Structure 1
Amino acid sequence: MSEPVGMVPGATTQEPNGQPHDALFRLVFGDPDNAASELRSVLPPRLTARINLDNLRPQPGTFVDPELQHRHIDLLFRTTTDNGDAYLYLLVEHQRTSDPAMALRMMTYQTRIWEHHRITEGTAASAPLPLIIPIVIYQGHRHWTAATDIADLIDNDLKADAGDLLPHVRYLVDDLTLLDDAALRARPLTSAARITFVVFARAPGDDDVTTWLDQWFDDFIRLTALWNHERLLKGIFTYLLKTSTTPEEHLIRFAGTLGPTAQEAAVTTAEQLHDRGYATGQSSLLTNMLAVKFGALDNDTHDRVAHATQEQITLWSSRLVQGAETLDDVFRS
């Protein structure tokens, strides 16, 4: 089998879609060990025994339609089976209700993956296609009710007479709304994966997440033993502070029970969120001031200000109030 195309360039705490859950999901489940633990939790045991989950290799790119990327995030892994190649496709559904067209979308994504495989591998048209196992991970207010087989979306009047012509393309749904604490603890998940699912379910809108975080203390302690624990903790703390109204000092106090490194990660996260919020406000103010003086701004100028450092914002603002006559005067090197 050929070498993997590359690594997913997304295991980060950045938020490309402006969604904190996207950043945390990519950070945690972009790690093959965490993804494998989720797959072991949901795949049929006989199939799991035939797939090498210890050799998952992240693949680059996304197969989600651009207009849907604000609510879907996907990860693709490649591995081997006892009979060839396989792809395991994870799609996270961020809607609060299940998507009735998901069966069609998942079929489309699978076709794109197969086409990508054939192009990048240069396989013959007669070569067998690798197995793709598509899984939707769903967390919403209500249970998932959408069809999981494309056949269920076909016109009912024709199904009885279609026979073998009726297509069947299925996907798995891991409906996190069906899991209570006991079921989540019973899963063979890594600590990072388990904590992520917990905070996805409980943190949004919560007044104080520290009232229940200590119920998962053992998982947090195991997480602190990982080589990349600081990055993971910052990602989790960022999610908690962005999606809940928990007082920062409460989260910092909880982090202190995990050890000095965890507490430092919580303090740093809080400070970075403060700085980021301040910088965003200053960027918006400068953009408005520039528009008042020079008229409508083009996209390049908007992007330049939005991605500027705090030092640049301060410098450009000073030039503006000191009488800069053109945008070039404001942005000069």
Structure 2
Amino acid sequence: MVTHAGAGAALKLEDPERAGALLRESLPKALTDKMAGDLQPVEGSFIDENLRGTHSDRLFQVALRDGRSAFIYTLIEHKSWPDMGAPLQLMGYRHRIWTRYAQDKPERLRKLPPIITLLVYHGRTPWNVPTRLIDCIDADEDLLALQRDGGYAVKDLNGNTPAYENFSDHPLLRAGLAALAWAFVKQFHPEQLARLLRDLPDEHPLTRQILIYIVRVHTMTEDEFKQGVAMAKPHLVEALTMSLAQEWMDRGEAKGLQKGIQQGLQQGLQQGLQQGEAQTLLRQIERKFGPQARMHCQQRVQQAGEAQLLQWIDNILIAERLEDVFQNDSSLQ
């Protein structure tokens, strides 16, 4: 709704009583009849930075008689001529208001409060800009009907997955849509890959892109991949497999890295245990036979394996001489 007011650029809506009077006098009766309380100012501005010198705005929230609420957005034009961009600007401001209201809470996005917009204009010439965005759209009545309620079309590939042949009449498009729709299936079978390949030309760039997508999204093994290719394009088994060599390599490197980390941890743990056992034995030798005995056999102990260290630790409990610790071991001189 647009009003032509002569209050000038000094018009302010900071006072709730004055704002309430203006809005009740200017807004549609369909809203004012439903208002159950006073206007509550909402902090913040939604105007583009480059328009702040010629516009000011205020946002209010009001309770309705049915227990819900509505926003009232007031934009004051400080230009002396009509702004033809106003309908599009106001649509953007409504988007900003709803986005801030939702605050990344999905449940709020299903219950957005209505936004009623009032533009206050005080220019020299009458306001001749359409007051509805629909009136700015150049289309016949059938297409305008699709615009009027803000609706949009949805092609939900996963909500109700059709049979493969129903994805599209165009082979390339059918293969691409099916690949996307099957992204979340638990198991991607070679037969499905073959079905896609039958629709994909041998040399088309999209063929390799779809195959890369399949390999990255699914846990299909290289053997399963070759099996699927053989069903549809046996003459391309090696060529297509080689074209995806980097993808298979990345998979192998990832698995190898994980395995390497596990092996490294196991080896580190094993080495730590052996070092602890060696230090334990050396301390026992020093306490029982003195520092010189420890120095005499230190290198030997540190180079020994785990089984040998455990045997020597047992031996020292009953050994009377250093040689008894390494009994049956002639290499200690």
Q: Fold conserved (TM > 0.5)?
A: no
Question: Between Structure 1 and Structure 2, whose CA radius of gyration is higher?
Answer: 2
TM-score scaled by structure 2? 0.40
TM-score scaled by structure 1? 0.40
